[in-house]
């Protein structure tokens, strides 16, 4: 099977490329420089030449503040980009696997969201991703839309300068006596390695549709940080950040836990608990195989640069 991976040099894309090759597939890996999903011409020319049977789209404009500053560009990438891919995938009779987000919900439900719950995004990012879902559903034929949450992985996140919450916590623990983390946002931390395995599993099926795809269980960012330090046996004074200590620049859902209901109903849910995914990720440190690439030094600035402590955006 020939698989085209869009955004192959991104945090998730690199793991999808690795997992797809591990499964024995031929991979056409396209970086953000090689293909522009906002351009229908770029999509058409590149994918028609590659002639894949499966297209995996991990590319997106997902820096929340940048989406607010550039809403038109966000719509072009997240909305129209998804439409461009759906049109070409249909022409090729190829399966399209598209990554979406928990930010299509407003967080007011207070319990895990299922696929049939009404979406109500709070910001430009969530709205443009929801538009992308709608375009695929209206235009596509063989598609999988996977909503996921709070991603972290071995490969740096390009849009956020290499930020990774786990690596940031480990770095801060070395540099500071005290670390403060918010506890008023509840998520399901999901490793890109686990999501990549789910992508490959679905690519072997014809169970098309919209799915929630996150690690099982949920926690606050503070609880996530606590688990990181406990697993790594790191002693640090971890405290809950005071209310409004790190003001939110853009509205975000306070509770964005997703239930993998349709994956489970189809017998296709490959995810374990978020703690297992975290342990697997941290075991790489024990083998000297941590984050690929450097975490920028400015990430050590707790007040100004932290992706979670200052709530600058989803880790997708």
Annotated catalytic residues are 125
How far apart CA 29 and CA 3 sit, in angstroms, is 8
HSE of 12, CA atoms in CB hemisphere, 13 A: 31
HSE of 79, CA atoms in CB hemisphere, 13 A: 15
DSSP state of 159: G
Rounded to 5°, the CA angle 118-198-47 comes to: 90
In the chain, DSSP assigns E strands to: 2-6, 26-30, 54-57, 95-101, 143-148, 151-152, 178-181, 186-187, 190-191, 209-212, 219-220, 237-240
Torsion of CA 72, 135, 29, 16, to 10 degrees: 110
Residue 205: other Cβ atoms inside 10 A: 12
HSE of 64, CA atoms in CB hemisphere, 13 A: 23
How far apart CA 279 and CA 110 sit, in angstroms, is 27
Rounded to 5°, the CA angle 247-251-254 comes to: 85
Backbone φ and ψ for 161, nearest 5 degrees, come out as 65, 30
């Amino acid at each position: 099977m020939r698989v085209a991976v869009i955004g192959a040099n991104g945090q998730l894309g690199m793991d999808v490329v690795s997992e797809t090759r591990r499964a024995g597939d031929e991979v056409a890996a396209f970086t953000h420089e090689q293909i522009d999903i906002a351009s229908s011409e770029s999509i058409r020319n590149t994918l028609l030449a590659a002639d894949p049977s499966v297209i995996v789209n991990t590319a997106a404009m997902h820096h929340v503040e940048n989406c607010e500053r550039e809403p038109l560009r966000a719509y072009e990438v997240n909305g129209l980009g998804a439409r461009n891919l759906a049109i070409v995938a249909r022409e090729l009779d190829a399966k399209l696997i598209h990554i979406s987000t928990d930010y299509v919900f407003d967080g007011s439900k207070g319990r895990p969201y299922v696929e049939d719950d009404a979406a109500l995004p709070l910001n430009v990012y969530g709205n443009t991703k929801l538009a992308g879902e709608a375009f695929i559903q209206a235009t596509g034929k063989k598609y999988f839309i996977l909503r996921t949450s709070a991603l972290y992985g071995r490969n740096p996140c390009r849009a956020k300068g290499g930020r990774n919450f786990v690596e940031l916590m480990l770095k801060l623990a070395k540099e500071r006596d005290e670390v403060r983390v918010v506890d008023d946002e509840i998520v399901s931390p999901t490793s890109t390695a686990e999501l990549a395995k789910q992508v490959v599993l679905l690519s072997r099926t014809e169970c098309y549709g919209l799915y929630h795809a996150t690690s099982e269980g949920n926690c606050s960012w503070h609880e996530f940080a606590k688990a990181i330090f406990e697993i790594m046996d790191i002693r640090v004074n971890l405290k809950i950040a005071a209310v409004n200590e790190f003001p939110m620049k853009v509205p975000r859902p306070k509770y964005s836990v997703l239930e993998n209901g349709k994956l489970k109903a189809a017998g296709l849910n490959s995810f374990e608990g978020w703690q297992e995914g975290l342990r697997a990720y941290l075991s790489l440190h024990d083998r000297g195989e941590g984050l690929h690439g450097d975490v920028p030094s400015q990430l050590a600035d707790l007040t100004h640069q932290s992706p979670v402590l200052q709530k600058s955006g989803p880790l997708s």
